[in-house]
Structure 1
Amino acid sequence: MSRTAKFSSIMTALALAAIGITGCTATPSAAPEKSETSPATTPVAEASPTQAAEPVADASPTPEPTEPDPCPRMSEFYSSTGGLYWERRGTLRDLGAREFAQGEVTFDADGNPVTYTVASGDVEAVIAERLCAYPNLGSMNHVRMIQPGQVLWLTPDPSIPWLSSFAVDDAPEGFQQLPYEQAFEAAGDAVDAGDVDAVREIWNDTLKGMFVNQETIDAVQQVVDSGDLDALRQLFS
Protein backbone atom coordinates (compact mmCIF):
# COMPACT_ATOMS: atom_id res chain seq x y z
CA MET A 1 0.00 0.00 0.00
CA SER A 2 1.31 3.38 -0.84
CA ARG A 3 2.10 5.98 1.84
CA THR A 4 -0.77 8.15 0.63
CA ALA A 5 -3.34 5.36 0.82
CA LYS A 6 -2.10 4.38 4.25
CA PHE A 7 -2.43 7.93 5.58
CA SER A 8 -5.93 8.18 4.19
CA SER A 9 -6.93 4.95 5.98
CA ILE A 10 -5.63 6.27 9.29
CA MET A 11 -7.55 9.51 8.94
CA THR A 12 -10.75 7.69 8.10
CA ALA A 13 -10.37 5.47 11.16
CA LEU A 14 -9.83 8.51 13.41
CA ALA A 15 -12.92 10.23 12.02
CA LEU A 16 -15.08 7.17 12.63
CA ALA A 17 -13.78 6.90 16.21
CA ALA A 18 -14.65 10.52 16.87
CA ILE A 19 -18.18 9.97 15.63
CA GLY A 20 -18.62 6.94 17.91
CA ILE A 21 -17.45 8.84 20.99
CA THR A 22 -19.82 11.71 20.27
CA GLY A 23 -22.79 9.37 19.91
CA CYS A 24 -22.18 7.75 23.32
CA THR A 25 -22.20 11.07 25.27
CA ALA A 26 -25.61 11.78 26.99
CA THR A 27 -27.03 15.19 26.31
CA PRO A 28 -28.41 16.65 29.58
CA SER A 29 -32.12 17.44 29.45
CA ALA A 30 -33.42 20.84 30.53
CA ALA A 31 -34.73 21.02 34.12
CA PRO A 32 -38.48 21.51 34.29
CA GLU A 33 -39.47 25.06 35.11
CA LYS A 34 -40.78 25.65 38.68
CA SER A 35 -44.52 26.19 38.85
CA GLU A 36 -45.56 29.59 40.16
CA THR A 37 -49.05 28.52 41.17
CA SER A 38 -50.31 29.63 44.64
CA PRO A 39 -50.14 27.19 47.58
CA ALA A 40 -52.97 24.73 47.82
CA THR A 41 -55.81 25.81 50.11
CA THR A 42 -58.45 23.71 51.80
CA PRO A 43 -61.81 24.42 50.22
CA VAL A 44 -64.52 25.68 52.62
CA ALA A 45 -67.78 23.87 52.32
CA GLU A 46 -70.72 26.20 51.95
CA ALA A 47 -73.66 25.49 54.24
CA SER A 48 -76.77 24.36 52.54
CA PRO A 49 -79.72 26.74 52.97
CA THR A 50 -81.68 23.89 54.54
CA GLN A 51 -78.85 22.75 56.80
CA ALA A 52 -79.25 23.97 60.41
CA ALA A 53 -76.22 25.55 62.03
CA GLU A 54 -74.73 23.57 64.86
CA PRO A 55 -75.39 25.20 68.28
CA VAL A 56 -72.43 26.87 69.93
CA ALA A 57 -71.92 25.95 73.59
CA ASP A 58 -72.12 28.91 76.01
CA ALA A 59 -68.84 29.18 77.84
CA SER A 60 -70.27 31.36 80.65
CA PRO A 61 -71.14 29.51 83.89
CA THR A 62 -74.79 28.96 84.74
CA PRO A 63 -75.72 31.12 87.76
CA GLU A 64 -76.78 29.31 90.87
CA PRO A 65 -80.47 29.74 91.71
CA THR A 66 -80.95 32.21 94.54
CA GLU A 67 -83.55 32.05 97.26
CA PRO A 68 -85.93 35.01 97.51
CA ASP A 69 -85.05 37.61 100.12
CA PRO A 70 -87.23 36.90 103.19
CA CYS A 71 -87.15 40.64 103.99
CA PRO A 72 -87.44 42.45 100.63
CA ARG A 73 -88.25 45.63 102.53
CA MET A 74 -87.42 46.37 106.14
CA SER A 75 -90.28 47.79 108.16
CA GLU A 76 -89.65 51.07 109.93
CA PHE A 77 -91.11 53.31 112.61
CA TYR A 78 -91.99 56.45 110.69
CA SER A 79 -93.43 59.89 111.42
CA SER A 80 -95.45 61.29 108.52
CA THR A 81 -96.05 64.61 110.31
CA GLY A 82 -92.56 65.20 111.68
CA GLY A 83 -93.09 64.30 115.32
CA LEU A 84 -96.41 63.72 117.08
CA TYR A 85 -98.06 60.83 115.21
CA TRP A 86 -96.01 57.81 114.22
CA GLU A 87 -96.82 54.64 112.34
CA ARG A 88 -95.16 51.51 111.03
CA ARG A 89 -94.31 51.41 107.35
CA GLY A 90 -93.82 47.97 105.82
CA THR A 91 -94.84 44.51 106.98
CA LEU A 92 -93.34 42.72 109.96
CA ARG A 93 -92.54 39.01 109.67
CA ASP A 94 -91.28 36.57 112.27
CA LEU A 95 -88.45 34.61 110.64
CA GLY A 96 -87.99 32.45 113.71
CA ALA A 97 -85.89 32.37 116.86
CA ARG A 98 -82.11 32.63 116.48
CA GLU A 99 -79.06 33.40 118.58
CA PHE A 100 -79.50 36.78 120.31
CA ALA A 101 -83.21 36.82 119.42
CA GLN A 102 -84.81 33.98 121.40
CA GLY A 103 -87.83 35.87 122.71
CA GLU A 104 -91.53 35.11 122.28
CA VAL A 105 -93.66 36.79 119.62
CA THR A 106 -97.43 37.30 119.79
CA PHE A 107 -99.59 37.74 116.71
CA ASP A 108 -102.91 39.32 115.74
CA ALA A 109 -105.75 37.52 113.95
CA ASP A 110 -104.06 38.08 110.59
CA GLY A 111 -100.74 36.57 111.71
CA ASN A 112 -98.91 39.88 112.05
CA PRO A 113 -96.41 40.20 114.94
CA VAL A 114 -97.79 42.47 117.70
CA THR A 115 -95.40 42.14 120.65
CA TYR A 116 -92.00 40.69 121.41
CA THR A 117 -90.92 39.61 124.90
CA VAL A 118 -87.19 40.10 125.36
CA ALA A 119 -85.23 36.98 126.35
CA SER A 120 -81.93 36.86 128.23
CA GLY A 121 -79.03 37.58 125.89
CA ASP A 122 -81.18 39.21 123.20
CA VAL A 123 -79.72 42.03 121.10
CA GLU A 124 -82.03 44.70 119.70
CA ALA A 125 -80.52 44.68 116.20
CA VAL A 126 -80.89 40.89 115.94
CA ILE A 127 -84.49 41.06 117.16
CA ALA A 128 -85.16 43.61 114.44
CA GLU A 129 -83.50 41.31 111.87
CA ARG A 130 -85.73 38.44 112.99
CA LEU A 131 -88.83 40.61 112.56
CA CYS A 132 -87.80 42.35 109.30
CA ALA A 133 -87.70 45.69 111.11
CA TYR A 134 -85.19 48.48 111.45
CA PRO A 135 -83.48 48.40 114.87
CA ASN A 136 -85.52 51.17 116.50
CA LEU A 137 -87.65 48.89 118.66
CA GLY A 138 -86.14 50.22 121.87
CA SER A 139 -86.68 53.88 121.09
CA MET A 140 -90.28 53.37 120.06
CA ASN A 141 -90.82 51.62 123.38
CA HIS A 142 -89.19 54.48 125.34
CA VAL A 143 -86.10 52.59 126.48
CA ARG A 144 -82.41 53.17 125.90
CA MET A 145 -81.54 49.50 126.39
CA ILE A 146 -83.85 46.51 126.20
CA GLN A 147 -84.07 44.25 129.26
CA PRO A 148 -85.03 40.56 129.66
CA GLY A 149 -88.74 40.19 130.31
CA GLN A 150 -89.61 43.52 128.69
CA VAL A 151 -92.54 43.45 126.26
CA LEU A 152 -91.82 45.45 123.11
CA TRP A 153 -94.87 46.79 121.28
CA LEU A 154 -94.09 46.50 117.60
CA THR A 155 -96.72 48.57 115.83
CA PRO A 156 -97.96 51.93 117.16
CA ASP A 157 -101.48 53.19 116.68
CA PRO A 158 -101.10 56.13 114.25
CA SER A 159 -104.11 57.88 115.79
CA ILE A 160 -102.40 58.14 119.22
CA PRO A 161 -99.59 60.65 119.84
CA TRP A 162 -96.13 59.32 120.53
CA LEU A 163 -93.70 61.11 122.85
CA SER A 164 -89.96 60.85 123.10
CA SER A 165 -88.68 59.78 126.51
CA PHE A 166 -85.45 61.75 125.97
CA ALA A 167 -86.54 65.24 124.96
CA VAL A 168 -89.41 67.61 124.21
CA ASP A 169 -90.02 68.92 120.72
CA ASP A 170 -89.26 72.66 120.59
CA ALA A 171 -87.86 72.49 124.13
CA PRO A 172 -87.51 75.97 125.66
CA GLU A 173 -84.23 77.41 126.82
CA GLY A 174 -83.20 75.97 130.17
CA PHE A 175 -85.13 72.72 129.60
CA GLN A 176 -84.61 70.31 132.51
CA GLN A 177 -83.51 67.13 130.74
CA LEU A 178 -82.93 64.86 133.74
CA PRO A 179 -86.18 65.71 135.60
CA TYR A 180 -88.09 65.12 132.37
CA GLU A 181 -86.55 61.67 131.87
CA GLN A 182 -87.20 60.72 135.50
CA ALA A 183 -90.84 61.83 135.36
CA PHE A 184 -91.35 60.06 132.03
CA GLU A 185 -89.91 56.82 133.43
CA ALA A 186 -92.17 57.09 136.49
CA ALA A 187 -95.20 57.52 134.22
CA GLY A 188 -94.17 54.40 132.28
CA ASP A 189 -93.84 52.39 135.50
CA ALA A 190 -97.30 53.54 136.56
CA VAL A 191 -98.74 52.45 133.19
CA ASP A 192 -97.13 49.01 133.53
CA ALA A 193 -98.64 48.72 137.01
CA GLY A 194 -102.06 49.73 135.66
CA ASP A 195 -102.20 52.79 137.96
CA VAL A 196 -104.04 55.34 135.83
CA ASP A 197 -104.37 57.84 138.69
CA ALA A 198 -100.60 57.90 139.17
CA VAL A 199 -100.12 58.51 135.45
CA ARG A 200 -102.54 61.46 135.55
CA GLU A 201 -100.78 62.95 138.55
CA ILE A 202 -97.32 62.73 136.95
CA TRP A 203 -98.59 64.26 133.74
CA ASN A 204 -100.60 67.09 135.26
CA ASP A 205 -98.12 68.01 137.99
CA THR A 206 -94.78 67.56 136.22
CA LEU A 207 -94.61 66.62 132.57
CA LYS A 208 -97.34 68.87 131.23
CA GLY A 209 -95.51 72.03 132.34
CA MET A 210 -92.40 71.00 130.39
CA PHE A 211 -94.15 71.13 127.00
CA VAL A 212 -94.68 74.36 125.08
CA ASN A 213 -96.52 73.13 121.98
CA GLN A 214 -100.24 73.45 122.73
CA GLU A 215 -101.21 70.90 120.07
CA THR A 216 -99.04 68.29 121.80
CA ILE A 217 -100.38 69.21 125.24
CA ASP A 218 -104.01 68.87 124.08
CA ALA A 219 -103.41 65.54 122.32
CA VAL A 220 -101.67 64.00 125.35
CA GLN A 221 -104.24 65.43 127.75
CA GLN A 222 -107.03 63.71 125.83
CA VAL A 223 -105.33 60.32 126.16
CA VAL A 224 -104.54 60.84 129.85
CA ASP A 225 -108.12 61.82 130.60
CA SER A 226 -109.43 58.74 128.74
CA GLY A 227 -107.60 56.37 131.08
CA ASP A 228 -107.05 53.92 128.20
CA LEU A 229 -104.07 51.82 129.30
CA ASP A 230 -103.13 50.73 125.76
CA ALA A 231 -103.06 54.36 124.63
CA LEU A 232 -101.15 55.39 127.76
CA ARG A 233 -98.65 52.60 127.11
CA GLN A 234 -97.93 54.05 123.67
CA LEU A 235 -97.40 57.45 125.27
CA PHE A 236 -95.14 56.48 128.17
CA SER A 237 -94.21 52.80 128.31
Structure 2
Amino acid sequence: MGDGVSIHANDPEGCDKPASLHLGRASAVLSRDLVDRGPRDFAEGTVGRDGQGRVVTYTVAAGDALDAIGDRFCLANPTVVATLNHTRVIQPGELLLLRPDSTLPWIPYFNPNSATQGYLQIPYQRAVEKMSAAAHAGDLDALRSIFANDLEALFPDPAEADVIRDALAAGDLTALRQMFA
Protein backbone atom coordinates (compact mmCIF):
# COMPACT_ATOMS: atom_id res chain seq x y z
CA MET A 1 0.00 0.00 0.00
CA GLY A 2 2.95 2.34 0.50
CA ASP A 3 4.97 3.53 3.48
CA GLY A 4 5.81 -0.10 4.21
CA VAL A 5 2.17 -0.98 4.96
CA SER A 6 0.69 -4.15 3.55
CA ILE A 7 -2.78 -5.52 4.10
CA HIS A 8 -3.73 -9.07 3.25
CA ALA A 9 -6.73 -9.71 1.02
CA ASN A 10 -9.78 -10.90 2.96
CA ASP A 11 -8.62 -9.15 6.14
CA PRO A 12 -10.96 -8.60 7.88
CA GLU A 13 -12.39 -11.99 7.02
CA GLY A 14 -14.81 -11.89 4.12
CA CYS A 15 -13.60 -8.55 2.77
CA ASP A 16 -12.18 -8.89 -0.72
CA LYS A 17 -11.07 -5.26 -0.90
CA PRO A 18 -10.75 -3.82 2.60
CA ALA A 19 -10.47 -0.08 3.11
CA SER A 20 -7.65 1.42 5.12
CA LEU A 21 -6.97 4.73 6.83
CA HIS A 22 -3.71 6.53 6.14
CA LEU A 23 -2.55 9.28 8.48
CA GLY A 24 0.11 11.55 7.07
CA ARG A 25 2.01 14.41 8.61
CA ALA A 26 -1.03 16.69 8.32
CA SER A 27 -3.55 14.63 6.39
CA ALA A 28 -5.93 11.75 6.77
CA VAL A 29 -7.18 9.68 3.85
CA LEU A 30 -9.48 6.68 3.51
CA SER A 31 -8.35 4.36 0.69
CA ARG A 32 -11.84 3.32 -0.46
CA ASP A 33 -15.46 3.51 0.62
CA LEU A 34 -16.39 1.60 3.76
CA VAL A 35 -18.90 -1.23 3.47
CA ASP A 36 -21.35 -1.50 6.36
CA ARG A 37 -21.89 -5.23 6.88
CA GLY A 38 -24.35 -4.51 9.68
CA PRO A 39 -24.31 -4.56 13.47
CA ARG A 40 -22.45 -7.38 15.17
CA ASP A 41 -21.08 -8.22 18.58
CA PHE A 42 -18.90 -5.33 19.79
CA ALA A 43 -19.95 -3.11 16.85
CA GLU A 44 -23.58 -2.23 17.45
CA GLY A 45 -23.33 1.55 17.17
CA THR A 46 -25.09 3.94 14.83
CA VAL A 47 -23.75 4.79 11.37
CA GLY A 48 -23.75 8.33 9.98
CA ARG A 49 -23.85 8.73 6.20
CA ASP A 50 -23.26 11.61 3.82
CA GLY A 51 -25.59 12.75 1.02
CA GLN A 52 -24.26 10.00 -1.27
CA GLY A 53 -24.97 7.30 1.32
CA ARG A 54 -21.30 6.72 2.19
CA VAL A 55 -20.34 5.81 5.75
CA VAL A 56 -18.82 8.93 7.35
CA THR A 57 -19.20 8.58 11.12
CA TYR A 58 -19.94 5.98 13.74
CA THR A 59 -21.45 6.54 17.18
CA VAL A 60 -19.94 4.10 19.65
CA ALA A 61 -22.33 1.81 21.56
CA ALA A 62 -21.59 0.33 24.98
CA GLY A 63 -19.24 -2.64 24.61
CA ASP A 64 -17.98 -1.70 21.13
CA ALA A 65 -14.36 -2.50 20.24
CA LEU A 66 -12.19 -1.11 17.45
CA ASP A 67 -11.42 -4.50 15.91
CA ALA A 68 -15.12 -5.35 15.65
CA ILE A 69 -15.87 -1.91 14.20
CA GLY A 70 -13.16 -2.58 11.61
CA ASP A 71 -14.72 -5.94 10.82
CA ARG A 72 -18.17 -4.36 10.45
CA PHE A 73 -16.89 -1.83 7.89
CA CYS A 74 -14.21 -3.93 6.11
CA LEU A 75 -11.54 -1.63 7.54
CA ALA A 76 -8.15 -3.35 7.57
CA ASN A 77 -6.49 -1.10 10.17
CA PRO A 78 -9.19 -0.30 12.74
CA THR A 79 -6.85 0.78 15.54
CA VAL A 80 -5.96 3.85 13.44
CA VAL A 81 -9.53 5.06 14.07
CA ALA A 82 -8.53 5.96 17.64
CA THR A 83 -5.53 7.99 16.45
CA LEU A 84 -7.59 9.68 13.72
CA ASN A 85 -10.12 10.70 16.38
CA HIS A 86 -7.49 11.90 18.90
CA THR A 87 -8.35 9.40 21.59
CA ARG A 88 -6.76 6.44 23.30
CA VAL A 89 -9.95 4.64 24.30
CA ILE A 90 -13.34 4.83 22.60
CA GLN A 91 -16.34 5.59 24.81
CA PRO A 92 -20.09 4.91 24.44
CA GLY A 93 -21.77 7.85 22.76
CA GLU A 94 -18.53 9.06 21.15
CA LEU A 95 -18.88 10.14 17.53
CA LEU A 96 -15.99 8.75 15.48
CA LEU A 97 -14.96 10.10 12.12
CA LEU A 98 -14.44 7.17 9.75
CA ARG A 99 -14.25 8.99 6.43
CA PRO A 100 -11.94 12.00 6.64
CA ASP A 101 -12.16 14.66 3.96
CA SER A 102 -8.79 14.43 2.21
CA THR A 103 -9.06 18.10 1.17
CA LEU A 104 -9.00 19.24 4.81
CA PRO A 105 -5.99 19.20 7.14
CA TRP A 106 -5.67 16.84 10.10
CA ILE A 107 -3.64 17.66 13.21
CA PRO A 108 -1.32 14.82 14.33
CA TYR A 109 -2.34 13.32 17.66
CA PHE A 110 0.96 12.25 19.19
CA ASN A 111 3.09 15.34 18.57
CA PRO A 112 3.52 18.16 16.05
CA ASN A 113 5.44 17.36 12.87
CA SER A 114 8.31 19.63 13.95
CA ALA A 115 8.75 17.92 17.33
CA THR A 116 12.22 16.65 18.06
CA GLN A 117 13.37 13.83 20.29
CA GLY A 118 12.45 14.52 23.91
CA TYR A 119 9.37 16.58 23.03
CA LEU A 120 6.85 16.75 25.91
CA GLN A 121 4.11 14.80 24.23
CA ILE A 122 1.54 14.56 27.06
CA PRO A 123 0.74 18.31 27.37
CA TYR A 124 0.32 18.45 23.59
CA GLN A 125 -2.01 15.41 23.54
CA ARG A 126 -4.11 16.79 26.39
CA ALA A 127 -4.51 20.11 24.54
CA VAL A 128 -5.42 18.27 21.32
CA GLU A 129 -8.00 16.18 23.22
CA LYS A 130 -9.53 19.38 24.66
CA MET A 131 -9.64 20.87 21.17
CA SER A 132 -11.37 17.71 19.96
CA ALA A 133 -14.08 17.93 22.64
CA ALA A 134 -14.68 21.62 21.89
CA ALA A 135 -14.80 20.98 18.13
CA HIS A 136 -17.38 18.23 18.57
CA ALA A 137 -19.42 20.56 20.77
CA GLY A 138 -19.17 23.29 18.13
CA ASP A 139 -17.80 25.72 20.72
CA LEU A 140 -15.65 28.23 18.82
CA ASP A 141 -15.00 30.33 21.92
CA ALA A 142 -13.63 27.29 23.76
CA LEU A 143 -11.55 26.29 20.72
CA ARG A 144 -10.02 29.75 20.53
CA SER A 145 -9.29 29.79 24.26
CA ILE A 146 -7.74 26.30 24.33
CA PHE A 147 -5.62 27.12 21.30
CA ALA A 148 -4.36 30.41 22.75
CA ASN A 149 -3.79 29.14 26.29
CA ASP A 150 -2.84 25.48 25.88
CA LEU A 151 -1.91 24.44 22.34
CA GLU A 152 -0.37 27.22 20.27
CA ALA A 153 2.87 27.46 22.26
CA LEU A 154 3.41 23.68 22.02
CA PHE A 155 4.29 23.85 18.32
CA PRO A 156 8.11 24.01 18.00
CA ASP A 157 7.57 25.59 14.57
CA PRO A 158 4.92 28.32 15.00
CA ALA A 159 4.13 28.13 11.26
CA GLU A 160 2.59 24.68 11.87
CA ALA A 161 -0.09 26.32 14.01
CA ASP A 162 -1.12 28.64 11.15
CA VAL A 163 -3.64 26.18 9.70
CA ILE A 164 -5.43 26.05 13.07
CA ARG A 165 -5.18 29.81 13.56
CA ASP A 166 -6.67 30.38 10.10
CA ALA A 167 -9.60 27.99 10.70
CA LEU A 168 -10.30 29.63 14.07
CA ALA A 169 -10.22 33.11 12.53
CA ALA A 170 -12.65 32.00 9.82
CA GLY A 171 -14.88 30.19 12.34
CA ASP A 172 -14.66 27.10 10.11
CA LEU A 173 -16.14 24.35 12.30
CA THR A 174 -16.09 21.83 9.44
CA ALA A 175 -12.31 22.12 9.13
CA LEU A 176 -11.82 22.26 12.90
CA ARG A 177 -13.90 19.12 13.44
CA GLN A 178 -11.72 17.26 10.94
CA MET A 179 -8.47 18.67 12.32
CA PHE A 180 -9.47 17.47 15.77
CA ALA A 181 -11.78 14.58 14.76
Which TM-score bucket, shorter chain as reference? 0.7 to 0.9
Task: Name the structure, 1 or 2, with higher relative contact order (CA <8 Å, separation 6+).
Answer: 2
Q: One-letter code of the match for 2:87?
A: V
Instruction: Supply the distance in 1 between the matched residues of 2:127 and 2:100 (Cα, whole angstroms).
Output: 22
1:90 equivalenced with 2:70 (yes/no) = no
1:169 equivalenced with 2:121 (yes/no) = no
Q: Is the 8 A contact 2:49 2:55 kept in 1?
A: yes
Instruction: Supply the distance in 2 between the matched residues of 1:191 and 1:86 (Cα, whole angstroms).
Output: 17
What SS does structure 2 have at the residue aligned with 1:208?
A: helix
Please, which runs of 5 or more residues in structure 1 have no aligned partner?
Answer: 1-68
Partner of 2:61: 119
The CA deviation at 1:152 is 0.8
The CA deviation at 1:141 is 0.8
**TM-score with structure 2 setting the length:** 0.83
Instruction: Supply the distance in 2 between the matched residues of 1:70 and 1:215 (Cα, whole angstroms).
Output: 45
Q: How does 1:49-64 map to 2 (within 5 A)?
A: none
Q: Is the 8 A contact 1:175 1:210 kept in 2?
A: no
1:107 equivalenced with 2:49 (yes/no) = yes
Q: Is the 8 A contact 2:33 2:55 kept in 1?
A: no
Q: One-letter code of the match for 1:190?
A: A
1:229 equivalenced with 2:173 (yes/no) = yes
Q: One-letter code of the match for 1:182?
A: R
Match of 2:134 among 186, 190, 205: 190
Please, which runs of 5 or more residues in structure 2 have no aligned partner?
Answer: 1-12
Asked which structure has the greater CA Rg, the reply is 1
Instruction: Supply the distance in 2 between the matched residues of 1:120 and 1:205 (Cα, whole angstroms).
Output: 34
String of CA shifts for 1:170-225, please: whole Å, max 9, x gaps. 31465322221222222222222221011112112331221134552222222222
Q: How does 1:74-85 map to 2 (within 5 A)?
A: 74-79=18-23, 82-85=24-27
Instruction: Supply the distance in 1 between the matched residues of 2:125 and 2:22 (Cα, whole angstroms).
Output: 22
Instruction: Supply the distance in 2 between the matched residues of 1:225 and 1:74 (Cα, whole angstroms).
Output: 38
Partner of 1:147: 91
- Which ranges of 4 or more aligned residues in structure 1 deviate by more than 4 Å? none
RMSD: 1.9
Q: Is the 8 A contact 1:184 1:207 kept in 2?
A: yes
Instruction: Supply the distance in 2 between the matched residues of 1:89 and 1:213 (Cα, whole angstroms).
Output: 30
Q: Is the 8 A contact 2:29 2:100 kept in 1?
A: yes
Question: % of aligned pairs identical?
Answer: 38
What SS does structure 1 have at the residue aligned with 2:30?
A: strand
**TM-score with structure 1 setting the length:** 0.64
What SS does structure 1 have at the residue aligned with 2:96?
A: strand
Partner of 1:131: 73
The CA deviation at 1:101 is 0.7
Q: One-letter code of the match for 1:224?
A: L
